[in-house]
Amino acid sequence: MIISRTPMRISFAGGGSDISVYYSQGYGSVISTAINKYIYITVNKKFDNLIRVSYSKTEMVESVDKLEHNIIREALKLVGIEKGIDIVYMGDIPLGSAGVGLGSSSSLAVGVLNALYAYKGQHVSAEKLAQKACQIEIDILGHPIGKQDQYIAAYGGFNFIRFNRDESVFVDPIICKKEIKDKLNKNLLLFYTGIERISSSILTEQKNNIDDNKRYIDSMVKISEEMRQNIVNNDFKTVGNYLHNGWLNKKKVATKVSNERIDHLYEKAIKAGATGGKISGAGGGGFLLLYCEERFQKNVKEALSDIKETPFNFEPQGSKIIYVSD
């Protein structure tokens, strides 16, 4: 039996610049961190030649091609496993078809690949896991997504990630004093809005309108670069302003990035003492990330008491194998 654990993520700045139609014109960059919310994958040899995959439903099939779960199906095919395997996955945060904006589908792709390669006795690098997960989600399945989620899930940590025209990706840890990173973590709040959304529709609109939106994404890339430099200089107090400015740009790239409910929640948080924030992921629902100094956090939590707070910490490690039976 093999068990993998793969972190989800929150993104601070630069979202949308990791899509090929944008970075192929130059480069894209994001600031993103893995968090201590995980996807767990269990892989075990099955007694017979059937394939069983268990998630919110259970599939029992005779061949890989008959699997409905597209990511697991393609991961099995890519790794070269055709029969006699049992796969179970679960997450710290419920995984629905609508997504939650924490990169869960890419964490799933990375985690399944990691577990399947380990099942075959192969250790693979974070770079290979990220590349293969991108191959499955973007190239094979045609999802209108970028690359940041796969890379942060594979590498872990708090990183500045650059996406280059030649398809190479640079993952650079953001170096600052430990107490600065800890203080930044403590000044971040995460709330589940309870709003479900289909991220693919938002991302498709964003991708199709990339030329019209280029100036907004350019601004978000610049924000990611400036924010990185400030944190490297051990200045974290400007993060709220960067989040706010990035959110204003992000709302312009697709019509459903925000809505009346999200705007209302955000305004309440700002009035209560938060200095900035954003919806994590594509937008439209899911999780609301806020920057708020600790002295104002009680006020913000009271203002948003009708939605669920989700405490989190930065996660230094990416996808890893946490159990191997004899």
Q: Is pTM, for the whole model, over 0.85?
A: yes
Q: What is the pLDDT of residue 204?
A: 74
Class (C level, CATH) for 178-309:
alpha beta
Helix (H, G, I), strand (E, B) or coil at 293: coil
* Closest to 32 measured CA to CA, from 16, 6, 11: 11
Three-state helix/strand/coil letters over 267-282: HHHHHHCCCEEEECCC
Q: Is the CB of residue 85 less than 8 Å from the CB of residue 76?
A: yes
Give the strand pairing for 85-91 and 51-54. parallel
* Paired tokens of 40: 């767990």
CATH number, domain 2-176+316-324? 3.30.230.10
CA distances from 221 to 29, 110, 163, 284 (A): 6, 25, 11, 21
Instruction: In the chain, list all ranges with CATH 3.30.230.10.
Output: 2-176+316-324
Helix (H, G, I), strand (E, B) or coil at 312: coil
Tens digit of pLDDT per residue, the chain (326 long)? Answer: 999 999 999 999 999 999 999 999 999 999 999 999 999 999 999 999 999 999 989 999 999 999 999 999 999 999 999 999 999 999 998 765 556 789 999 999 999 999 999 999 999 999 999 999 999 999 999 998 999 999 999 999 999 999 999 999 999 999 999 999 999 999 999 999 987 756 666 667 767 777 788 999 999 999 999 999 999 999 988 999 999 999 999 888 877 788 899 999 999 999 999 999 999 876 777 899 999 999 999 999 999 999 999 999 999 999 999 999 97
Instruction: In the chain, list all ranges with CATH 3.30.70.890.
Output: 178-309
Q: What is the pLDDT of residue 11?
A: 95
Chain CA centroid to CA 311, Å = 16
Can you tell me the distance from the alpha carbon of 257 to that of 206, in angstroms, rounded to the nearest whole number? Answer: 10
Q: What is the pLDDT of residue 98?
A: 53
Q: Is the CB of residue 102 less than 8 Å from the CB of residue 115?
A: no
* Tokens 């094979």, located at residue: 140
Residues 6+ apart with CB under 8 A from 215: none
Ordered DSSP codes for 29-46: EEEEEEEEEEEEEEEEE-
